[in-house]
A and B are shown apart, each in its own frame.
Chain A
Amino acid sequence: MPKANRRVAICGGGIFRPDLWHGENAEEGVAIAYQDLLRQCPNLGADDIDAVMMSYFSDHLNQQLCMGWIIQDYLGLHNKPGYRVESGGSTPLDALINAYYMIQSGFFDVILIPGWEWMCEVDVASTNEMIASAADTDWDFPVGGYYNAYYAAIEVRHMQLYGETCEDLGRIAVKNHNNSTHIPFSQWVSQRGTAPITLDDYWKSRMVCWPYRVLNNAVMSEGACCVLMAAEEKVSRFTDTPMWITGVGLGTDSMRPGDRTADFVYAGFKDEAKIYPDFVKSPKTPYPDMANFASLHVAAKRAYAQAGITNPLKEIDLMELFTPYDGVELCLYEDLGLCGRGEGKYMIREGVVEPGGECPVQLSGGLTSTGHPVGATSLYYTTFLYWQLAGKVKEICGPGGLQVPNAKRALITGHGGTGCQGGVIIFERD
């Protein structure tokens, strides 16, 4: 377990809402998010910021290398140390964890974390191609692959092994889209309004890669978010409601999901029973197989150890999971230890993860509805958790806002590639 030298907190998040298209370009979008942060933290000035940790995934979606330099100068922060973190979908969560490491080390006290992505300059099929180049381009891409297909195949195996149905995936989609209608910054609200959807809408939505329909998949977004992180000595200057980081964990897994059938590193999960239904005769492989996400499993173990959590379902009030496809959410219930292996389906069937349930998941709506501009994604959902733990959801989102009463502890995950990299952060309020 890491030795924590001092407490580190999120002091606020400013957002420029995600949408399918923005007239503003990325640096203007980040500036709007930064303005929003400055309004929330009136004492914050450039002199307070020791370093800038920039979160953006792609260079090729906008044909601009070193976009981070543009952002730093655009905000007038170009005399500060600045870094870029990039790890696919895990990028913004890794930026948060890296900033945490740096403040924890004592080298910096206050770090600004701007994140953004402008994903809609090329057509969707080309955007999918460019994102798919985060998969192994010698092996997994040339066979017609892209992320929807990889994740669909992973979900098919999970479904065959553990018996969830398409209806379970539909229930998750309905839950998340309807949660999203309470977020006035949501891309779904911008494009489709605030009317709730039903399972019937889910069955009618177009198939993308079986078993995933359109409503199961992350949206393409443009948007930006700026999060402020500070050491405990500086926190009171910016906020009365700090959200402390009490546990962080990172994990990685094989680049190609197909290699997980001979995974020597994760074959080390000796405590994990091999639960396989008899009808799957062959091939049988140990956890995580090409079905679950071991990177998140070890990341969660590390974060729980640091935060002193032994029963996550009981001890965590709400979660924002990085789930670009709804099967990931179902698998993560298991990988994060909310339930046993293969029991993810009961979490949604029994309403445990619904609003008002024992551990609501994705009250923000998440990546499939509220938005997924990659570099900003986990920063948005960190900001959303900040509102939750500060008790400000109704103030910001209106009377319909899904505030968890007296929320004290929350969890967020990041997720890159096909679970190639994952991270977990535990947040707590005083």
Chain B
Amino acid sequence: MEEEKGLVETKLKVRPVKKEREKKYRDYPTVVDNSTAAHDFWEPIVHLGLWAIKGHQIVKGPWGGGTVEQAKKRPPREFMVIDRASFAFYSHSYGLVSPFFQGLLEAKLTGTKCPKCGTVYCPPRAHCWNPECKVADCFDNWVNLPLTGIIHTFTVQCLAAAPFEHMLPFSMGWVQVDGADTTLPMLLHIRPKEIFIGKKVNIEFIPRKSRKGDLMDLYAVAAVPGEKPPEWACMQKDTREMESVENSMKATLKFIKDRYGVDNSPQTRGW
């Protein structure tokens, strides 16, 4: 392996991109721009030439068709496995429901109401999906919603997709905001032993300067602090299961601390 050093570029060199930001919507005024820092940071990374091969390995493994047994009996072959990366920076429009996300920046929760059938959508829909309303426009009919609701369903996550892994363990749930007919997914800052379907929650916002205009700007907390689940609550009524959840949370906390150096324990983050 020693003599192969230097064959591949192992150190990433971020080349500064000196060019004007590309905007397909340049013909229209940008009235608020909170993107410059993000573009300055990410665009050089996007332009790293990520498709260029970064390294390779030679792996000796089983090959060919047939059963597992047949494949593993054959003398292994060498396969060359290359590493390449990919990255893109997307500028995506929230469309006609943009006011919802602009509202989040101001700690306001809104929904749309169909002018024909009266259904209140949160998540908002710009057009009604009730077939009788024939895709009626809802996007000029916004209603302010209270920061209260009910947990429709939930899960406790000990594993997550890449962008959220460092936040583990956490609970995600769908909350029916009071006055809305659909349910909104959000993080639940509630300990597993207190979460149940039907639980009343309050919706809170993260500090103003951290808000980005997405659903991570808000989270749910128990409306009645310390409220215990009823005896029929499906997770807690099985004490062995609850114990298993608690143990899994501990194992996950350790994994995240080892991997990311982050302490997500209830004592530290408060939930």
Contact = CB atoms under 8 A, between A and B. Distances in A.
Contact of A154 (B153, B170, B182, B185): B153
Contact of B68 (A157, A185, A261): A185
Interface stretch (B15-23, B39-47, B55-63): B55-63
Contacts of B62: 23
Interface residues of A, number: 70
Contacts of B183: 258-259, 261, 283, 290
Interface string B184-219: 111100001000111000000000000000111000
Nearest to B122: A258
B137 interface: no
A185 B67 contact: yes
B234 A159 contact: yes
Contact of B65 (A36, A129, A165): A36
Interface in A144-178: 144-146, 148-149, 152-154, 156-157, 159-160, 163, 165-166
A408 interface: no
Given A207-B244, A280-B197, A145 B150 contact: no
A107 interface: no
Given A153-B173, A210-B192, A265-B131, A144 B157 contact: yes
A149 B157 contact: yes
A258 B182 contact: yes
B153 A149 contact: no
Contacts of B71: 17, 190
Contacts of A23: 59, 61-63, 77, 79
Interface stretch (A135-143, A347-355, A385-393): A135-143
Max chain A CB contacts within 10 Å: which of B66, B150, B163, B164? B164
B174 A153 contact: yes
Contact of A144 (B72, B167, B232, B248): B167
Given A156-B234, A206-B251, A282-B198, A17 B67 contact: yes
Interface string A7-37: 0000000011101011110000000110110
A82 interface: no
A399 B245 CA distance: 41
Interface in A268-289: 277, 279-283
A17 B65 CA distance: 7
B145 interface: no
Contacts of A143: 172, 185-187, 215-216
Nearest to B129: A264
Max chain B CB contacts within 10 Å: which of A138, A144, A265, A281? A144
B165 interface: yes
Contacts of B156: 207, 209-210
A19 B62 CA distance: 11
A149 B155 contact: yes
Given A144-B167, A259-B123, A157 B153 contact: yes
B182 A283 contact: no
Contact of B63 (A24, A165, A203): A24
A177 B77 CA distance: 29
A160 B197 contact: yes
A332 interface: no
Interface stretch (A120-128, A334-342, A361-369): A120-128
B152 interface: yes
A184 interface: yes
Nearest to B181: A262
A220 B3 CA distance: 35
Contact of A290 (B65, B152, B251): B152
Contact of A142 (B77, B129, B155, B216): B216
Interface string B231-267: 0111100100100110010010000000000000000
Contacts of B65: 15-17, 32-33, 35-36
A210 B63 contact: no
A149 B150 CA distance: 19
Interface string A234-277: 00000000000000000000101111011011000000000001
Interface in A93-148: 123, 125-126, 128-129, 132, 138-146, 148
A312 interface: no
Contacts of B153: 153-154, 156-157, 160, 290-291
B102 interface: no
Contacts of B184: 139, 258
A185 B170 CA distance: 37
Contact of A184 (B67, B158, B162): B67
Top 8 A-B residue pairs of the complex, sorted by shortest distance between their CB atoms: A23-B79, A207-B248, A184-B67, A152-B155, A262-B181, A157-B153, A129-B161, A258-B183
Interface of A: 15-17, 19, 21-24, 32-33, 35-36, 60, 63, 123, 125-126, 128-129, 132, 138-146, 148-149, 152-154, 156-157, 159-160, 163, 165-166, 184-186, 189-190, 203, 206-211, 254, 256-259, 261-262, 264-265, 277, 279-283, 290-291
10 contacts: A129-B161, A144-B172, A145-B172, A153-B153, A209-B158, A210-B245, A261-B152, A262-B119, A279-B232, A283-B183
Interface of B: 51, 59, 61-69, 71-72, 77, 79, 84, 86, 92, 94, 119, 121, 123, 129-132, 150, 152-165, 167, 170, 172-174, 176, 181-187, 192, 196-198, 214-216, 230, 232-235, 238, 241, 244-245, 248, 251
